[in-house]
Amino acid sequence: MKANDAVTAVRQRLSHQKFGRRGRKSDRVWAHRMLLLRGGDTLSSGGVARLHTLFRVDDVTGDLEAVWTVKKQVRRLLACSSLAEAHEEKMRLGYYVMVADMPETDGVWSLVWKWWAQIEVLVITGVGNAKTEAANTMIKNIKRTARGFRNADHYRTRILLASAARSAA
């Protein structure tokens, strides 16, 4: 997800600015990197408290909290159930991006604009391309482990067998 990539990029940039090096275990921002990548709606009360402490103590610029807020807003946008609600959430996302004023969040905003037609389809139908992407990943893994099948029929059969096993399970 581009929003998670933006959070990671800002976290790494802030670490380089503060320490002149990449993050280490002793750095709280690095130690809580997985917490930053989680959705705000999936955090426990302890996770929310750790996140707020992280923002208050270790995020002196406010950039990390801003990019995390943008990420949270993207999740809200993708969870919408109507076009009117999606449009409202998109405008709110635009406001958050404008306030954040960072290249990382600008990239998220441009991606939302680029894919807006597909996001509308997701909102209307509730159908995404996750199953197709999963099938493509499975095929790539078979191809990677096949180590140069010379017989195309064997390769095709192996893919079909793996697909059948997944749908039967």
What is the pLDDT at residue 1? 66
Residues 6+ apart with CB under 8 A from 13: 63, 104
Quickly count: other Cβ atoms within 10 Å of residue 131's Cβ.
9
Task: Give the CA distances from residue 16 to residues 13, 19, 22, 23, 24, in Å, rounded to whole numbers and listed in that order.
Answer: 5, 5, 6, 8, 11
Tally the domains of the chain: 2
AA letter at 18: K
Quote the pLDDT of residue 168: 65
Range of the domain at 88: 2-125
- Per-residue pLDDT, 157: 87
Q: Cα–chain-centroid distance for residue 161?
A: 31
pLDDT of residue 158: 84
Q: Are residues 69 and 118 in the same domain?
A: yes
Same domain as 139, residue 108 = no
CA pair distance 156, 160, nearest whole angstrom: 6
pLDDT tens per residue across all 169 residues of the chain: 689 999 999 999 988 888 888 878 888 888 888 989 998 888 899 999 999 998 998 888 899 999 999 999 999 999 999 999 999 999 999 999 999 999 999 999 999 999 999 999 999 998 877 888 888 898 888 888 877 677 888 888 888 888 887 666 5
Residues 60 and 25 in one domain: yes
- Find the length of the chain: 169
Q: What is the pLDDT of residue 169?
A: 57
Q: Say whether both 82 and 13 belong to one domain.
A: yes
80 and 139 fall within a common domain: no
Assess whether 96 and 147 both reside in one domain. Answer: no
Helix ranges restricted to H, the chain? 2-19, 28-31, 33-37, 45-58, 63-78, 83-100, 103-114, 116-125, 130-146, 152-168
Whole-number pLDDT of residue 119? 93
Residue 94 confidence (pLDDT): 96
Torsion, Cα 67 3 76 14, to 10 degrees, reads: -20
User: Are residues 84 and 139 both part of a single domain?
Assistant: no
Query: Is there a single domain that holds both residue 78 and residue 8?
Result: yes
Same domain, 137 and 100: no
Residue 66 sits in the same domain as residue 137: no
Q: Is 59 helix (H, G, I), strand (E, B) or coil?
A: coil
* Burial class (CB within 10 angstroms; exposed 0-12, middle 13-18, buried 19+) of 119: buried
Provide the pLDDT for residue 105: 95
Same-domain pairing of 82 and 142: no
Say yes or no: 42 and 96 in one domain: yes
Residue 19 pLDDT:
82
pLDDT at 29 (0 to 100): 82
